[in-house]
Structure 1
């Protein structure tokens, strides 16, 4: 299940640390964190799942819950191979899930 469906107080710290209180399946909300730099990279100015350290080549990183379904969107300006900034966004619910109160990455 996508993490945002069972989470409260979702936020992004330091441009790459996803934090929230996640439901653990027992009716409790527990503190959880996940370093997005371990699973998201920058491939020529585009977010890349399975990569790493996107924030090292990004500017103006932001996070928001958008639309009626509060979809978790990561936004940043990413440098391409020529050094130009490309404005990109990524739906974190595509691959980040909640497994019993812990963030998990699914491929």
Structure 2
């Protein structure tokens, strides 16, 4: 289950810092941040988990909650050497809410 199901006010700060209020098992919500540049990068113009500094090679970065499950989708424009193109990644695949904190989990 992705972090978005137990978090609110999910947004980006400075184009690469994921921020949210994450619910703890007690029901209390705590503010948490996770620097996506420390866990998400690009290789040959494609997103790659367990890499770094995606924002250094991306433009038009924004986050939207989409679909019936309001999944957190990070949208960017990347350049693979042949020109820029739009790409996206579902942050719920590899980020979880662990006791009120956003945490990266190896997923691929």
TM-score range, shorter chain: over 0.9
Counterpart secondary structure, 2:56: helix
Residue matched to 1:56: 56
Inter-partner Cα distance in structure 1 for 2:20 and 2:46: 25
For the 8 Å contact 1:37–1:52, the answer to whether it is kept is: yes
Q: Structure 2 length normalisation: TM-score? A: 0.94
CA RMSD of aligned residues (A): 0.9
Residue matched to 2:88: 89
Inter-partner Cα distance in structure 2 for 1:51 and 1:84: 22
Q: Structure 1 length normalisation: TM-score? A: 0.95
Inter-partner Cα distance in structure 1 for 2:82 and 2:98: 38
* Count of residues in Structure 1 that have an aligned counterpart in Structure 2: 106
The gaps in structure 2 that reach 5 residues or longer are none
Inter-partner Cα distance in structure 2 for 1:29 and 1:104: 15
Is 2:94 aligned against 1:79?
no
Inter-partner Cα distance in structure 2 for 1:93 and 1:55: 18
